Amino acid sequence: MTYEDLQKQHDNLFVKEMDLYEVKGLKGLYIDGCIAIDKNMTSVEKSCVLSEEIGHHLTTIGNILDQTKTPNRKQEHRARLAAYNIQIGLEGIIRSYEAGCTSLYNMAEYLDVTEEYLKEALSAYERKYGIYVTYNNYIIYFSPCLGVLRRFD
């Protein structure tokens, strides 16, 4: 989903692009219905960051910036998984397969995400589902390499 589409779909959230260079590594921040996005990124990078901040809106309670605390890391994990499902999801993997994407680069381009974000999502899905998952008459393999098979019953 594009950056603009994400904003339209979640128009109940206030999104502001700004310079976040003062905090090293910070690309986005969610606080009480407001999202700050670093303006110094590409549109595709912004869509990945925005989806994660929307994930925080949907799943996070309180200040979780201190990632040395286990409960905060768990909330971060839930927010990222929600973000991956917003941007990619099992249906996105299947759609990209049906569209003829044959590499992670093509798949990332088709889904309007960065290749790094796609790899992180696929790793998260493998941790969640294991080596493969069956979904809507498809088998999605995460290991040893990504593969999608359509089942004919």
- Give per-residue pLDDT as tens, 93-124: 999 999 999 999 999 999 999 999 999 999 99
Domain that holds residue 153: 88-153
The answer to whether position 117 is within a domain reads yes
What is residue 31's predicted lDDT score, i.e. its pLDDT? 92
Structural domains counted in the chain: 1
The answer to whether position 116 is within a domain reads yes
The answer to whether position 1 is within a domain reads no
What is residue 152's predicted lDDT score, i.e. its pLDDT? 85
What is residue 125's predicted lDDT score, i.e. its pLDDT? 97
The answer to whether position 56 is within a domain reads no
What is residue 25's predicted lDDT score, i.e. its pLDDT? 76
The answer to whether position 74 is within a domain reads no
Three-point CA angle 59, 26, 120, nearest 5° = 60
What is residue 23's predicted lDDT score, i.e. its pLDDT? 73
The answer to whether position 118 is within a domain reads yes
What is residue 33's predicted lDDT score, i.e. its pLDDT? 93
Cβ(12)–Cβ(30) below 8 Å:
no
Which residues does the chain have with pLDDT short of 50? Answer: none
Burial class (CB in 10 A: 0-12, 13-18, 19+), 127: exposed
The answer to whether position 35 is within a domain reads no
The answer to whether position 149 is within a domain reads yes
